[in-house]
Amino acid sequence: MNRPINLFEYEVTAKQHLEPMALEYYQSGALDEITLRENRLAINRYRLRPRMLVDVSQRDLATKLLGQTLNVPILIAPMAFQCLANSEGEIATAKAAAISNVVMVLSTLSTKSLEAVAAQRQNTPQWFQLYIHRDRSLTETLVRRAEAAGYEALCLTVDAPMLGKRESDRRNQFTLPKTMELANLSMSNLAIPQTSQESGLFAYFAQQIDPSVTWKDLEWLQSITSLPVLVKGILRSDDSLKAYEHGAKGIIVSNHGGRQLDGAIATFEALTEIVETVGDKIEILVDGGIRRGTDILKALALGAKAVLVGRPILWGLAVEGMKGVAHVLQLLIEELDLAMALCGCASIEDIEPSLVKINY
């Protein structure tokens, strides 16, 4: 088999390795998938204005985030149920993250426990993504476990008070096979229900996730932990300001990969106003449709400190387990390195706003 040479080829190849229910769960967006498509279109509307005759013989992709040095400005986005792609699931992803020196953000809804994933870390930091459950003591226990296991930041996902309507999941009555569990929650007897006429995950959110969460709860979360909290799922400058005022240390500009509110703006459309509002105060990250090294360069030129990559990680996992994830990351890193050279950037600090231009 010829190895895929880019992330789009990974997607094509992954389709041969996944059961239809898993594939559709991974790839789909909400409703008509307008936002899912728009994330890519918005990135492509930006064009690069490369700078010439700069010495780019030595390039450094390292950057600082929350006071820590990252090898590259790329993180693995939190994604639920990775055992649907590969039997090692989140363990394989964590191993690939560690060998690639890339921060992995582990989902609350992982199919391997947060402690087992933490054991794969080596020296690479890991972050934990949090959904606030109706049961606050359960939520607090998750935070304590994440702290004890050495996770270095929490990402509070705020764009999912209810789950978006993903029609293929409804059609498939999406649920987990009996061999898989909500590894962080099974001791509380929580599981994805089997439902007729509905996605089991949709039903899980309706039953278990707290839709009454507000900015006060962001303060509550910070009152019970000393870990830095980032808010994931912000799309407006006024919300970014509130996140800052309520103590968040960072924002992930995200529309959940087009899986929540269809018709929501693309993340690259939201990024500029958010950078202008709080970019000098807290860390701004972005995700949604990042598939090329040039996409990362554009995000950084627009003021993001780093990007998160979602589905392509699952495609790598489905095709070749840990090796596939590591290869997806390697391809992205090589492409970013080349994009920097061709734009006249020897370091991440050299990536500045004049390198991009919007093309209407």
Ligand X SMILES: Cc1cc2nc3c(=O)[nH]c(=O)nc-3n(C[C@H](O)[C@H](O)[C@H](O)COP(=O)(O)O)c2cc1C
Q: Residue 146 is inside which H or E element, if any?
A: helix 136-148
Binding flag, residue 288, ligand X (CB under 6 A): yes
Q: Provide the minimum distance between the beta carbon of 44 and ligand X in the complex, in angstroms, as a whole number.
A: 14
Residues 6+ apart with CB under 8 A from 161: 209, 210, 211, 212, 213
> Can you tell me the distance from the alpha carbon of 349 to that of 300, in angstroms, rounded to the nearest whole number?
9
Binding flag, residue 293, ligand X (CB under 6 A): no
Interface region with ligand X, contact rule CB under 6 A, candidates 10-18, 254-262, 269-277, 341-349: 254-262
Contact 306, 282 (CB under 8 A): no
Chain positions 60 to 79 lying near ligand X, rule: CB under 6 A, are 77-79
Interface region with ligand X, contact rule CB under 6 A, candidates 163-171, 178-186, 275-283, 309-317: 309-317
Closest CA to 274 of 289, 257, 253: 253
Interface region with ligand X, contact rule CB under 6 A, candidates 144-152, 184-192, 274-282, 305-313: 305-313
Q: Provide the minimum distance between the beta carbon of 241 and ligand X in the complex, in angstroms, as a whole number.
A: 21
Q: Which of 290, 301, 326, 340 binds ligand X (CB under 6 A)?
A: 290
List 17, 133, 256, 327, catalytic entry: 256
Interface region with ligand X, contact rule CB under 6 A, candidates 10-18, 58-66, 285-293, 340-348: 285-293
Identity of the residue, 39 or 100, whose beta carbon is nearer to ligand X in the bound complex: 39
> Can you tell me the distance from the alpha carbon of 233 to that of 218, in angstroms, rounded to the nearest whole number?
13
Binding flag, residue 175, ligand X (CB under 6 A): no
* 256 in catalytic set: yes
Interface region with ligand X, contact rule CB under 6 A, candidates 117-125, 171-179, 209-217, 306-314: 306-314
Identity of the residue, 95 or 256, whose beta carbon is nearer to ligand X in the bound complex: 256
DSSP of 98-140? HHHT-EEEEPTT-SS-HHHHHTT-TTS-EEEEE--BS-HHHHH
Binding flag, residue 185, ligand X (CB under 6 A): no
Binding flag, residue 26, ligand X (CB under 6 A): yes
What is residue 53's DSSP assignment?
A: S
End-to-end CA distance of the chain: 41
> Can you tell me the distance from the alpha carbon of 89 to that of 176, in angstroms, rounded to the nearest whole number?
13
Chain positions 213 to 252 lying near ligand X, rule: CB under 6 A, are 232
Identity of the residue, 74 or 345, whose beta carbon is nearer to ligand X in the bound complex: 74
Q: How far is the CA of 310 from the CAs of 41, 145, 177, 290, in angstroms?
A: 17, 24, 22, 8
Cα of 102 vs its chain's centroid, Å: 12
> Can you tell me the distance from the alpha carbon of 17 to that of 86, in angstroms, rounded to the nearest whole number?
9
Site string for ligand X, 118-137 (x = CB under 6 A): -----------x--------
For ligand X (CB under 6 A), the number of binding residues is 23
- Catalytic residue numbers, as ranges: 256
Can you give the binding site for ligand X, defined by CB under 6 A? 25-26, 39, 77-80, 107, 109, 129, 157, 232, 254, 256-257, 259, 287-290, 309-311
